[in-house]
Structure 1
Amino acid sequence: MQITAATQADAEEISVILGEIEHYYGGSPEPADLEQVRRLLGSNRPAADVLLARDGDRVLGLASYSLLWPAAGADTSLYLKELFVREDARRRGVAGALMAELRAVATGLGYSRVEWTADRDNPAALAFYAALGTEPHTGKVFYRSTL
């Protein structure tokens, strides 16, 4: 397995995986809007960076993240927005490899932490994060404002 940074050439595959993520959470399995994925990946100010876990030509999973500053205490933070492993690739170390690469990216940039959220009704994700030795942070309340 290799972990690589996604490029414009990966837009179609990312579009399909985003549809799989939506389906996992109860939505439609349709691929995400390909033009939007291309635009967001290739802009001068990308909406996120994406890491892909690959086995040869097959993409097994992805991690999308953004860099945040200032984080609490004027520190820097790599914020994991989405971690997803395709169903037939789960329990094979893919998520762990993606998390390790995220930590390496953050460390390489001199960032002070990696942060993420998880749905309370996703016991598999919660167990995975607990197995990494991380504890839930209870100091924040999550808000969302729809535009």
Structure 2
Amino acid sequence: MRIGQATPEDVDVISTILAEIEAYYGGEPTPGDPAQIRAALFAGRPAATVLLAREGNEVLGLASYSLLWPAAGADTSLYLKELFVRESARRRGVAGAFMEALQAAAAAAGCSRVEWTADADNPAALAFYKALGAEPRGGKIFYRIS
């Protein structure tokens, strides 16, 4: 297995995986719009970076992140927005490999930390993060305006 940054040639598989993510969370498995994906990830000012895990020609999953500033003082943090391993590749070390790659990306970018959120009703994710030694942090409430 290898993990590397997605390229414009990966737009179609990213679109397919976004549909799988929607289905996983109970939504309609609608693929992402390739034009929106291309603009978000590969335009002059990308909104995020996507890492893909591959085994041969098969894409096993994706991790999407952005850099946030300020984190603490004038530090920058890497914010993991989505970590998703396709059903056929789960329990094979893919998520752990993603977390290692994300920590390496954070170090290379000079970030002081890696941060993320997890759904409270996703016990598999919560157990995985606990096994990594990550502890939930209180003190912040998540908000959204549509």
- TM-score interval for Structure 1 and Structure 2 normalised by the shorter chain: over 0.9
Instruction: Report the AA paired with residue 11 of structure 1.
Output: V
Match of 1:55 in 2: 55
Instruction: Report the AA paired with residue 29 of structure 1.
Output: P
Query: Which ranges of structure 1 fall in alignment gaps of 5 or more residues?
Result: none
State which drifts further: 45-54 or 68-77: 68-77
Query: Which ranges of structure 2 fall in alignment gaps of 5 or more residues?
Result: none
Cα deviation digits, residues 17-41 of structure 1 (max 9, x gap): 0000000000111211111111112
Match of 2:80 in 1: 80
SS at 2:83's partner residue? strand
Cα deviation digits, residues 59-99 of structure 1 (max 9, x gap): 00000000011113332100000000000100000000001
Q: Is the 8 A contact 1:52 1:62 kept in 2?
A: yes
Match of 1:132 in 2: 132
CA distance in 2, matches of 1:129, 1:29: 26
CA distance in 2, matches of 1:124, 1:73: 33
Match of 1:99 in 2: 99
Instruction: Report the AA paired with residue 25 of structure 1.
Output: Y
Instruction: Report the AA paired with residue 35 of structure 1.
Output: A
CA distance in 2, matches of 1:108, 1:38: 24
Q: Is the 8 A contact 1:52 1:61 kept in 2?
A: yes
Match of 2:4 in 1: 4
State which drifts further: 39-48 or 4-13: 39-48
Match of 1:20 in 2: 20
Instruction: Report the AA paired with residue 93 of structure 2.
Output: G
Q: Is the 8 A contact 1:11 1:41 kept in 2?
A: no
- In the TM superposition, structure 1's runs of 4+ consecutive aligned residues that sit over 3 Å from their partners are none
CA distance in 2, matches of 1:29, 1:110: 36
CA distance in 2, matches of 1:74, 1:51: 26
Q: Percent sequence identity over matched residues?
A: 70
CA distance in 1, matches of 2:127, 2:46: 31
RMSD of aligned alpha carbons: 0.8
